[in-house]
Amino acid sequence: MGGERLNPEKIWKEYQEGKQTYEQLSEKYNCSKKTIQRHIDRYKPLLIIQEPREIIVLMDTTYWGQNFGVMLFKDAISKTNLLKYYVKTETNYLYKKGIKELESNGFKVRAIVCDGRKGLFNSFGNIPMQMCQFHQVAIIRRYLTKNPKLQAAIELKEIASLMTKTDKESFVGALNDWFNNWETFLNERTINEETGKSFHTHKRLRSAYRSLKTSLKFLFTWYDYFDLNIPNTTNAIDGHFADLKNKLRNHNGLSIERKMKFIDGFLKV
């Protein structure tokens, strides 16, 4: 089959959706790898323009390496992608810019779901903010490890794991009970024999508890605004990122420009 008879759109779909590599496509169509690459470069992915409407925004960022990432804004209601930025670093400024851009394009943002970046939750006026509960559980796991040894840490980790399975009152009650039971232990101090100064003995346990208490007012926004049907996690966007990375893994070694084109076609924004 000659290169001139190749269909760039068909080649692109096999390349992106069918996970076919340059080599596999060149064998299939009996042409050189450069010919396949030229047809793929020629194709312009279809980007879908969304109509203004009420939306619940899921937003998060994923990376390839240290200096190349994609910040994505996705509608939890329609499950469609709305906006993306290519970024070197994840910043609150860009998240605020994205929400402003959506609003300026006529979208009505009913609620936002995101991870727990410091300072972000007070950036959007009266828009209800839900912190992704899975991100919060992951934060607790990093402080306490997967297999904590202290009984207090074991119990706190179990309470954190209940977050995605229970209501606000039950979770707050369990957390308050834990604190009442372990407050003295939590406040224990150890003296440094060389300096004579004291420090909290269970720093990581204290940090885990403080993280939960600080985030608490944003962990159950879905419950406080039940009628809005706000997701309690960013799982829909995280799963999208995982699928994208799996597909890109079949095409290692792409230039930044070709990688961006692949991402454009996958996300369609």
Q: Over the stretch 108-147, which tens digit does the pLDDT of each residue have?
A: 999 999 998 888 998 999 999 999 999 999 999 999 999 9
The residue segments making up the domain with residue 196 are 133-218
What pLDDT does residue 1 have?
43
Domain membership flag for residue 7: yes
Sign of the torsion formed by the C-alpha atoms of 175, 176, 177 and 183: positive
pLDDT the model gives residue 46: 83
Which residues of the chain are under the pLDDT cut of 50?
1-3
Query: Is 225 a domain residue?
Result: no
Final residue before a domain boundary, out of 194, 218, 242: 218
The token duo for 264 is: 């454009």
* Domain match, 60 and 21 both: no
Question: Are both 187 and 246 inside the same structural domain?
Answer: no
Instruction: Give me the pLDDT at residue 20, please.
Output: 87
Smallest CA-to-CA distance from 203 within 193, 215, 190 is with 190
- Nearest-angstrom CA–CA distance, 97 and 90: 12
Rounded to an integer, what distance in angstroms lies between the CA atom of residue 115 and that of residue 253? 30
Instruction: Tally Cβ neighbours within 10 Å of residue 228.
Output: 16
d(CA 127, CA 103): 12
86 and 36 in a common domain: no
CA angle 139, 143, 149 (to 5 degrees): 130
Tens digit of pLDDT for each residue in 67-96? 899 999 999 999 999 999 999 999 999 999
pLDDT of residue 250: 85
Q: State the Cα–Cα distance between residues 66 and 37, nearest whole angstrom.
A: 27
CA dist list (Å): 204 to 29, 144, 182, 208, 211:
58, 7, 14, 6, 10
pTM above 0.85, yes or no: yes
DSSP-assigned beta bridge partners for residue 81 = 74
